Amino acid sequence: MTTPTSTEDAIDATSVTETSGAVGRSPGQLMWMRFKRDRTGVISAIIVIFFFLVALLAPVISMVYGKDPYTLYGQDMPGLLNDYGYPIQPNGGISSEFWFGLEPSLGRDVFMQLVYGIRTSLGIAVAATLITTTLGIVVGIVAGYAGGKTDYFVGRLIDLTLSFPQTIFIIAFTPVVESLLVPADEETPVWLRAVTLTIMLSAFGWAGLARLLRGYVLSMREREYVEAARVTGASPGRIVFKELLPNLWTPILIQSTLLLPAMVTAEAGLSFLGVGMGELVPDWGRMFLRATQVYQNDITYLIFPGVALLIFVVAFNLLGDSVRDAFDPKIKR
C-alpha cells in the first residue's frame, strides 16, 4: 500500500511548486495582468472612463460650474454676442465665466453643451452597441451551430444587410419611420428620435459581428469538447452557453470595444447630416453641423467638439487594441 502515499507526495510537491511562483491563473486574470503592464492601454482606459464619468456626472458638473446647457446666456446678457450673433470676446468668447466660449447666435455655453452632449452620444452609442452585440451573438451562433439551410439563409441575410448603403438608408428612412409614428403637424419627441437612431444603427451594425462569430462557431462545432458534450447528452442550450459562448467572449469583447467609438461617430455623423437629435438636446453631431455653418467667423466653436471627439475615438481605439493584445498576445500588430 505505498501507492496512495506516493500520490499524496506528488500532490504535495505540486502544491509546493505552485506556491513558489507558478500560481494557477484564469484567462481573465492573465488578461488583466497583461493589460496592466500595457501603459498605452491603461492611459486610454483612464481617458475613456473619464468621458463616461463626465457623462454620468453632467448635472454635478453643471452645478459646480454654475451654468446649464439650455440657457441662452448670449441673448439674455448684453455684451456677449455682437449684432451678427458672434461672440464679442476673441476665441469664441472664451472667458473665466464661459470656459469654452459661447455658441454663436443662440449664445449657449459651449462647455455645458459638450458635457451634456457626451451623454446623448454615449447613451445612444452604448445602447446601439449592446443591441448590436446581442443581435450579432444570437444570429452568429444560431447560424454557425445550426448549419444547413438556416446557415445559408442567415448568410444571405448578412450579405444583404452589408450591401445596404447604411448612411443613405438611415437618413432616408428616419423620416419615413417618424411619419408613421408622429402625426405630420407635431414635433418628434426627443426619446423617439433617440430610439429611432438606436434602432437604425443597430439594424445595420449586427451583420459584421454575426459573420465573424459564425465563422468561429463553425470551426468550434466539430471540436472534440463539443462532440464530447453532445455525446454525453448535453442539450443544445448547454452546448451553446457552456461550451461555445465562453470561447467567444474574447472576439465579442474586442469587437464591441471597437464598435462603440464607431457608433459614437456614426451618431455624430447622422446629427451632422440633420437626422440626429433636435435643437433642444445637446449633441456633438449638431454642434458640428452648426460649426460648419459659422466656422469662417468662429472657428473655436468647431475646435472644441472636434478635439473632444478625436481624443475620445483615439483613446477608445487604442483601448480596443490593448484589449486585443491582452487577450491574445500572439497577435502582433
Partner 1 sequence: MLRFLTRRVLGALVILLIISAVTFFLFYAIPADPARLACGKVCPPETLEQARQNLGIDKPLMVQFVSWLAGIFVGRDYGGLGHCPAPCLGFSFVNRAPVFETIIDRMPVTIALTIGAAVIFLIFGVATGIVAALRQGKPLDKIASVSSLIGASVQIYFVGTLAMYFFVYQMQVFRQPKYIPITEDPVGWFSGLLLPWLVLALIFTANYTRITRSTMVENLNEDYVRTARAKGMSGRSVVLRFALRGALTPVITIFGVDLGTLIGGAIITETTFGLQGIGRLAVRAVDYSDLPTLMATVLLAAGAIVVMNVIVDSLYAVIDPRVRLS
Q: Which CB, 229 or 303, lies closer to partner 1?
A: 303
| Residue of the chain from 10, 56, 172, 228 that contacts partner 1 (CB under 8 A) | 172
Query: What distance in Å separates the CA atoms of residue 205 and residue 129, rounded to the nearest whole number?
Result: 8
Q: How far is the CB of 196 from partner 1 (least distance, A)?
A: 13
Instruction: Check residue 237 for interaction with partner 1 (CB under 8 A).
Output: no
| Residue of the chain from 163, 191, 232, 279 that contacts partner 1 (CB under 8 A) | 163
* Identity of the residue numbered 235: S
CA distances from 30 to 41, 67, 200, 323, 324 (A): 15, 45, 37, 12, 13
DSSP conformational letter for 29 = H
| Residue of the chain from 24, 78, 165, 237 that contacts partner 1 (CB under 8 A) | 165
Q: How far is the CB of 164 from partner 1 (least distance, A)?
A: 6
CA distances from 67 to 58, 99, 115, 294, 320 (A): 11, 11, 11, 23, 35
Q: Which CB, 239 or 262, lies closer to partner 1?
A: 262
Q: Quick check: 54 and 72 in contact, CB under 8 A?
A: no
Q: Grid coordinates representing 171?
A: 437618413
Q: Grid coordinates representing 251?
A: 472576439
Given the rule CB under 8 A, which of 25-33, 69-77, 246-254, 295-303 is the region that contacts partner 1? Answer: 295-303
Residue 109, φ and ψ in degrees, nearest 5: -80, 125
| Residue of the chain from 99, 105, 173, 212 that contacts partner 1 (CB under 8 A) | 173
Instruction: Check residue 185 for interaction with partner 1 (CB under 8 A).
Output: no
Report the interface residues with partner 1, using CB under 8 A: 159-160, 162-165, 167-169, 171-177, 179-180, 184, 261, 265, 268-269, 272-275, 288, 291-292, 295-296, 299, 302, 305-306, 309-310, 313-314, 317-318, 332-333
